[in-house]
Amino acid sequence: MILTIDTSGAILVAAVEGATVISERTEFAPRGHAELLAGMVKEVLDDARERPERIVVGTGPATFTGLRVGLVTARTLGFAWGVPVEGVCSLDAIGAVHGTCTVVTDARRREVYWARYEDGLRVDGPAVCAPADVPVAGDVFGRGGPLYPDVFANATAADPTPLGLVKAAEAARASGSDMATEPLYLRRPDVHGVPGA
């Protein structure tokens, strides 16, 4: 059994066995990660009635606080249970289930995070830029597209799914990619450095 966690957009926790989602909890609460995540993990594990053999966690890109909560939770559980924790780009978890497409998520500040996919595998990105600068190919998926309908016509809102996270992890493992659990921010935070330095 695999425990999947992603807090790059909606809060997602699920138990997956093979190609079957045993239990899933998801909630779109941009500022509720710290309050909701632990309870969602407990509910999913109570449903699954077994400890996971590994954990797959989305590494973003996303905003600092929500992303950090998911990554710290996954690392802590992995350490406590003695199971491996694999990090995957959250955009890959969307692209993995939509084939040839462009994934666009909200980066705030009138920008978007994006990546392009062919047959579910990333061929460009991830990157952050103004919506008009995204090199779109195929259909557009993700929460960022519908925010800019003048740029991304017919975009479909989408978040990472449990099976998408597992597929992205399988692809990363097969290609020998680094599966570190470091957050993928793509830009510096608003506050950084020492004033006057």
pLDDT, one tens digit per residue, over 31-82 is 777 788 999 999 999 999 999 999 999 999 987 778 899 999 999 999 999 9
Instruction: Please state, in angstroms and rounded to a whole number, the distance separating the CA atoms of residues 156 and 3.
Output: 26
Burial of residue 157 (CB within 10 Å: 0-12, 13-18, 19+) is: middle
Instruction: Please state, in angstroms and rounded to a whole number, the distance separating the CA atoms of residues 35 and 23.
Output: 20
At 148 the pLDDT is 98
Place 6 in a pLDDT band, splitting at 50, 70 and 90.
very high
pLDDT, one tens digit per residue, over 139-193 is 999 999 999 999 999 999 999 999 999 999 999 999 999 999 999 988 765 544 4
Place 25 in a pLDDT band, splitting at 50, 70 and 90.
very high
At 121 the pLDDT is 96
How confident is the model over 115-125, as a mean pLDDT?
Answer: 97
Q: CA dihedral in degrees (101, 104, 105, 110; nearest 10)?
A: -170
Token pair listed for 155: 């975009």
Global pTM value: 0.92
At 192 the pLDDT is 46
| Pick from 193, 196, 117: nearest CA to 158 | 117
